[in-house]
Every structure is written in C-alpha cells, then in structure tokens.
Amino acid sequence: MTETKRVAILGSTGSIGTQTLDVIRQHSDRFTVEVLTAQNNCDLLIAQALEFKPNAVVIGNEANYLKVKEALIPHDIKVFAGQKAIAQVVEMETIDVVLTALVGYSGLIPTVHAIKAGKQIALANKETLVVAGEIITALARENGVNIYPVDSEHSAIFQCLVGEFHNPIEKIILTASGGPFRGKDRAFLQTVTREQALKHPNWDMGAKITIDSASLMNKGLEVIEAKWLFGLKTEQIEVVVHPQSIIHSLVQFEDGSIKAQLGLPDMRIPIQFALSYPDRLKSDFERFNFANFPNLTFEQPDSKTFRNLQLAFDALATGGNAPCVLNAANEIAVAAFLNRQVGFLEMSDLIEETLAKATFKSHPSLEDYVASDAEARTITENLIKSKV
C-alpha cells in the first residue's frame, strides 16, 4: 500500500498554491495537507484550512494573526504569524514534502530551513536557486534531499531525463511563449501599460511572474535555475520561443537525439508529478489533441529588444552574487512598474544599473546573499526615486 505524503504548501493562496490544493483534492488518498501559509490573503487561507484541516497555518502579515486565530483555533488548527514562523514551521516532524510557492526572494530562507530539516522539496520558487543555487544544491546533497521542479519547463526537462540520468546532456532547450509582446519593437514597448503586460496569452499566473514573462525575465531566471537543477554550463542552455506553449522544454543528448515533453498549458500536471514522483497519477485534466494544433512554431528570442533575457545570461556567466543582485533589482523594478512608477523598458535599465553599482562577491556565503539582496534593493529603489 502506498503511503500518504504529508504536504506543507508555502504560499497556498497564490496561483501555484491553489492549483496544488486542486491536485490534493483529486488525490486525497495519496496526499494530506499538513501546513498552509499565506502572506496577506487571510480569508482564503481560513477557507483552505477549514476544508483541508492542516496541523498548522502561518499568516505572514502579523496584522491578520488574530482574525486567522479566532477562525481556526476552535477547529484545533495551530496558528502562527510572521516570516520567522514560515521558516520554522517547515521543520515539523510530521511534514514529508515542502512545496515552496512563495513569490521571489521570500522563498529562500524557508527552503534552507526545510532542506536542513531533511524535507523533500517541490520547488515552484525559482528565485531560491537564482539567488543561492550553489548553496542550495550543496545543502540538498549534504542532507540527502531531492529537489523536484514544479516550473513547467524544468519539470519537462526532469521528465525527459527519467531513465536517462546516466546519459550526459549535450544541451537543454527551454521554451518560452514570448509573452503578450512577442514580435513588438522598442517603440511599441515604450508605451505599454500595466494592463497590457498582465494579459498573458497562454498561462494564468500571478502579477509578478506575468510581468516577468512579458519582459522575458522569467525565462532568464529559469535559465539560471536550470543551471543548478541539472548541473549544466551556461553554454548548454538554450532558449527558443514557442508561442503555442505545447512543448514545455527539450533535452538533447550526446547522440543528437532530442526528447521533449508536451501537453496543454496546465500547471497542475508538473505540480502533480513533483508530488507523486516516481509515480504518474491518473487525472481528469484536459488532454492535448494534435488536430487542435496543426502548427507548432519556433523562433529565436529577441534579446536585444527584451534585454532582461541577456542580462540574466550575463549574470549567470559572471557568477558569484550577480544573479542575486539581478533578482533583487528585478523584484523592485517589477513592483515599480506595477505601481506605474516606471515604464516597461525602464525595468531593464534599472536592473543593468544596479548590477553595475552593487558590490560583487565571487564566493558568497548565505549571509552575503542576504546582504547583497538588501543592498541591491536599496540601489534600485534610489534609482527609481531619482527618475520619478
């Protein structure tokens, strides 16, 4: 009989978190919810907790603690609050796997705590590996922890490698939809609005990752994540624009053969595979039909117009804390764009300037990464103030 996995979901009220709960809902014989966390959405967190009856919940925003506590304590659900509590709750002995779906840099420290506690990781928070990939992968090796990718592209690579782990990779090809502005020039991008950038053609995601997709920064972060997940060199990673988002990524082996993973855009598939590996569980998700997609097309990304992709490749080549700085600057730049403080193209300018101004560390410690993140955010915020 297959044992039930007890899951902690960090970021349960976001897009990935809610879809993870949908997977668990369909396979309640295989998974139970042990911990749920949210930053601000206390109403949805309460509703989720009442349905799934976790051992504990954490609300990141301490101002909402009493509301959550009063709703859940009568149901014998422990309630904690604050960022430190999120990092500590993953150490509970009753957790088997931690799915990290926190947004941005906030996922790093809880993931470190979970790995040190020996928990298996289902990783939807790519920034953890972008910021501190060398430290995270070393910690995972030391603690015998597997990191299962949840991003659709990295899940595709992982699925292509099952049964092939002994065969060297020649290169991987990450696919990108191209976002809502594929084929547009800089003159068009000068005037795009927040509302236009939030309309992704294929995926339904949170605001931050949708803007990253529109700017191709999301693909740049995925390039850095792939380097650490699969032990690759920068030159072994290629990006191709595939507007239909049916082929989720590809692996080329030394004999020239290429394996690809295909399917309709549905994040529940990679989420389910990360939780159930090595098993594939039956699902009622919509099936792909070739007749509906007579043409699958591919093109090279325009990294001169969408400079974030090249900035990410450059940061990866530079190494050290450069990807950490890139990520911090991007998080501040995206927030400023969403707040209508800067234009779409200005985000790349801010990131480039921050990379030039930030202190470079060639072999950073975890403390150095924390300091670099803070420094980069301050630099970017000051650059924004000087432009407003």
pLDDT per residue as tens digits for the range 221-248: 999 999 999 999 999 999 999 999 999 9
Along the 388 residues of the chain, how does pLDDT read in single tens digits?
A: 568 999 999 999 999 999 999 999 999 999 999 999 999 999 999 999 999 999 999 999 999 999 999 999 999 999 999 999 999 999 999 999 999 999 888 899 999 999 999 999 999 999 999 999 999 999 999 999 999 999 999 999 999 999 999 999 999 999 999 989 999 999 999 999 999 999 876 666 678 888 999 999 999 999 999 999 999 999 999 999 999 999 999 999 999 999 999 999 999 999 999 999 999 999 999 999 999 999 999 999 999 999 999 999 999 999 999 999 999 999 999 999 999 999 999 999 999 999 999 999 999 999 999 999 999 999 999 999 997 6
pTM of the entire predicted model: 0.94
User: What amino acid is encoded at 364 in this protein?
Assistant: P
5-149 CATH choice from 3.40.50.720, 3.20.20.140, 3.60.15.10, 3.40.50.620: 3.40.50.720
pLDDT per residue as tens digits for the range 186-209: 999 999 999 999 987 666 667 888
